[in-house]
A and B are shown apart, each in its own frame.
Chain A
Amino acid sequence: MTGRAVDRHGHHRGIPGAAAGPGVPRRGTPAWRSLATGARLGWAIESNWTDPFLFAVYAVARPVGAALVLVAIVWIVGGGGRPDYVGFLVVGSACWTFVGGGLSGLVWAVLDDRERYRMLKYVVVSTVALLPFLVGRAAGQLFTAVAGFLITLLVGVLFLGVQIDLAAIDWRLFVPSMAVGLVAIVALGLTVAGLCLTTRRESWSYPEAIAGGLYLLSGAIFPPDLLPAALQPVALALPTTWWLEGVRRALLGLPTPGVLAGFDDTIVLIALCVSTAVLTLGSVAIFRAFERVARERGLIDQTTGS
């Protein structure tokens, strides 16, 4: 095209993304921008359904309710004589809001965008990178989970006798544990989201089911030692186990009794990083594989309800 100024990237000025002509490749949307777009969209969807007060109640009440179920079990059934276990339970329950939020956010992003909003096909055919877009889409739920996490801990400290001393928190353990743990959760969510590209709409319940399975295996509400011997190696292979252990040690100052107590903080972090890295690489590969299957079978724009 003549008469148009072309910048050094081969783009026409005033026409974002336009190429100078055939042979000059048009760039895709950078991953960070895809993620940011997805995040803005996800937050807009998450937060627009009601007034702020009710939204706050929703963000808080569910995780607190889950924690209360467990604490009631400990107090009422266990006779209330296990204050250390209450702390274990509350921290595990608080952290579990991220698992539910992360998994649900990614899976529901796929299912909502495909079945309700019918937008998934437009996202796929655009230059936006699908994987970071979906991660961003889930960010709204993860952000909501932060509030749930903090409120659950607060309720535990104020009303349930949980001993968390702000001055004594091991931030050097807490921050990397939490950061890497969230990566693991997102990676897990991506795996399930990839699967859901090929399944029907009823798979919206899969995140909850998987969270329930991990609940058993990750030491969320009891030490992994209580698992049958055959399942203990599985527990130790999961990044969520090491994530919970790292966060508990950082907040409560005590390791989980049993097999986990035999590992020092450094080993816990290394185990978390290695298992997360394996999971992340695997989940990206699995997501790509399912994405390919979905395209081959023409499932990107299917509607499946029953």
Chain B
Amino acid sequence: MSSSPYARDPAAGPTEASAWGFRRVLATNLRAVTGRAYPRVRGSLREKSWIFFEIALPFLSTCAFVLVYRALEAPEAYIGFAVLGGAMTAFWLNVLWAMGAQLYWDRGEGNLEIYFTAPISMMSILVGMAVGGLYMTATRALVIIAMGSVLFDVQYAIDQWLLLGAVFLLTLVALYGLGMLMASLFLFWGREAWHLANLFQEPVYFLGGLYAPVKVLGPLAALAIGLLPLAVGLDAMRQLTFTQVPDIGVLPPLAEAAILVVMAVVFLLLARIALRYFERRARAEGRLMARWQ
């Protein structure tokens, strides 16, 4: 190895230097995940106003729905549904904005060019964003569940902890796969995709069953279960968490877990294809550098 401060590990030439094996490609992409998560975690530790704005205020928003149910004299289980839905909202918003829209922001700041000239997959960058955002998101979800459960005396009855954990993780994987797919749209369409995401935020609250079990939607339930990992995951999690309340799910939790597996695979594959396709189109049309699109 050269002792020059410029050199890291000089190979015989660029051909040799560029011949990476699978292990090196994997290791580089995993390190890229860490690298991209780093500024997000660091940023949230350095500036803590998010504790109030991202946790305390959204908790109040969840409380609003709880009080609506109280006003309607709904069954007590609905309070628990609202609390769980409020917690999962955090993950949905992280996927939609901290992942999907992030590439839109990064392009405006010139970071996209750096990502695309580095020897890494854009999926690594997106996973890094998701992982980095999980710190804030998970904190928000935990606070909502903990405080909501205590304040509103939510009663849980969990029999299958492993299945619940698996469903939660599968929901996240499928959700973040969907987020990567959306990120590819943001990459190409910029502001239009941003506004469309803004547009679909509320309908997803509705179809995703964030504040009421999907089953109450009737025929729309099937649509929701078929398209939205959030709807499937939340439906299964509610069934597993509130076993004392019968007949609240569309399908049995195990079946919904299987659907989540399929969704995760499909969304991740589609995301990979879409990212490559839109990257190529963006390169062809010069959109990787268009800052004010």
Contacts and interface: CB of A to CB of B under 8 A. Distances in A.
Direct contact of A and B (CB under 8 A): yes
Interface of A: 49-50, 54, 57-58, 61-62, 65-66, 68-70, 72-74, 76-78, 82, 85, 115-117, 195, 199-203, 205-206, 209-210, 212-213, 215-217, 220-223, 226-227, 303-306
B78 interface: yes
A205 B203 contact: no
19 contacts: A62-B198, A65-B202, A73-B65, A73-B69, A73-B212, A76-B216, A76-B217, A77-B78, A78-B72, A85-B71, A116-B108, A199-B49, A203-B53, A213-B57, A222-B64, A222-B70, A222-B71, A304-B43, A305-B39
Contacts of B196: 58
B192 A49 contact: yes
A213 B72 contact: no
B109 interface: yes
Contact of B47 (A61, A199, A213): A199
Residue among A69, A200, A203, A223 with the most chain B CB within 10 A? A69
Interface string B46-82: 0101100110111011011101111111100010000
Contact of B192 (A50, A65, A227): A50
B64 A74 contact: no
Given A77-B69, A303-B109, 8 more contacts: A58-B195, A69-B202, A69-B205, A73-B212, A76-B212, A77-B212, A205-B97, A222-B68
B191 interface: yes
B281 to A, nearest CB: 18
A221 B64 contact: yes
B-side interface size class: 35 or more
B71 to A, nearest CB: 5
B251 to A, nearest CB: 19
B212 A226 contact: no
A77 B202 contact: no
Contacts of B212: 72-73, 76-77
Contacts of B58: 209, 212
A216 B49 contact: no
